[in-house]
């Protein structure tokens, strides 16, 4: 399979008239739902909020399914975040969705009790990734309260989960829990 080179794409696009390019984009939007969502967000910024809600529901469904307790499909959660990142214009919304993954995971374990090591590794990683993204995009003060709430709700959870969440929150927000005692 031959990969498309950007230089070849640019050459192809330069050979087209403005009207032909517009028609190509219209055809692409009609053919691919992700492209349609991308342009919908560009043209109608309020649509991004709808998409944020949609992807939050996708994530929550993996934890709190209407069909009852079942095994989690972590790839669906990761894909929801990845897909939202592709269409979003707003780092704050991306950070909110990423942090939501950790938040709903903590809520899940507080609802159903002890889960397993894989579950906790995934939630810790989600929390870490969210805080890393938040700090990379200078959103730390915007999300400090929510990040701390998630950490606080992790207190008392086994498998080293509480300690991992403590370390992550403390590292990012320069918080020393021993000084607080």
pLDDT tens-digit series, residues 4-54: 899 999 999 999 999 999 999 999 999 998 889 889 988 988 999 999 999
Distance between CA atoms of residues 178 and 171, nearest Å: 13
Report the pLDDT averaged over residues 138-158. Answer: 95
Residues 25 and 51 in one domain: no
Residue predicted with more confidence, 162 or 158: 162
pTM comes to 0.85
How confident is the model at residue 84, as a pLDDT?
96
**Full DSSP string of 65-100:** -TT-S----HHHHHHHHHHHHHH---HHHHHHHHHH
% of the chain beyond a pLDDT of 90: 74
How confident is the model at residue 65, as a pLDDT?
83
Q: Does residue 151 form part of some domain?
A: yes
Residues 69 and 24 in one domain: no
Residues 82 and 12 in one domain: no
- Residue written as tokens 């069909």? 67
Residue 1: pLDDT band (50, 70, 90) is confident
pLDDT over 60 (residue 177) = no
Structural domain including 16 reads: 1-31
Residues 82 and 27 in one domain: no
Distance between CA atoms of residues 140 and 105, nearest Å: 21
Residues 79 and 143 in one domain: yes
Angle between helices 33-43 and 18-31 (to 10 degrees): 120
Q: Does residue 38 form part of some domain?
A: no
Looking at the 3D structure of the chain, how many domains does it have? Answer: 2
How confident is the model at residue 117, as a pLDDT?
87
Q: Does residue 83 form part of some domain?
A: yes
**Cβ neighbours of residue 101 closer than 8 Å, sequence gap 6 or more:** 59, 77, 81, 123, 126, 130
Q: Does residue 93 form part of some domain?
A: yes
Mean predicted lDDT score pLDDT of the chain: 91
| pLDDT tens digits for range 59-79 | 999 998 876 656 778 999 999
How confident is the model at residue 112, as a pLDDT?
86
How confident is the model at residue 38, as a pLDDT?
87
Angle between helices 74-87 and 33-43 (to 10 degrees): 50
pLDDT over 70 (residue 137) = yes
How confident is the model at residue 90, as a pLDDT?
95
Q: Give the distance, in angstroms, between the CA of residue 15 and the centroid of all CA atoms in the same chain.
A: 38
Token readout for 134 is 């938040």
- Residue written as tokens 């691919």? 32
Contact 102, 117 (CB under 8 A): no
Residues 26 and 81 in one domain: no
Residues 26 and 50 in one domain: no
Residues 104 and 132 in one domain: yes
How confident is the model at residue 34, as a pLDDT?
85
Q: Does residue 36 form part of some domain?
A: no
Residues 49 and 26 in one domain: no
């Amino acid at each position: 399979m031959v990969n498309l080179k950007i230089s070849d794409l640019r050459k192809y696009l330069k050979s087209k008239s403005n009207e032909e390019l517009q028609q190509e984009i219209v055809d692409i939007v009609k053919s691919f739902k992700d492209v349609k969502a991308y342009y919908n967000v560009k043209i109608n910024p309020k649509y991004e909020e709808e998409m944020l809600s949609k992807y939050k529901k996708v994530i929550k469904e993996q934890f709190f399914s209407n069909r009852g307790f079942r095994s989690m499909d972590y790839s669906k959660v990761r894909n929801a975040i990845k897909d939202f990142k592709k269409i979003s214009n707003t780092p704050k919304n991306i950070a909110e969705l990423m942090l939501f993954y950790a938040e709903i995971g903590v809520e899940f374990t507080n609802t159903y009790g002890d889960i397993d090591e894989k579950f906790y590794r995934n939630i810790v990683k989600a929390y870490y990734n969210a805080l890393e993204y938040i700090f990379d995009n200078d959103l730390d003060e915007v999300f400090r309260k929510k990040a701390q709430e998630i950490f606080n709700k992790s207190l008392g959870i086994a498998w080293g989960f509480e300690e991992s969440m403590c370390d992550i929150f403390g590292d990012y927000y320069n918080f020393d829990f021993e000084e607080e005692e």
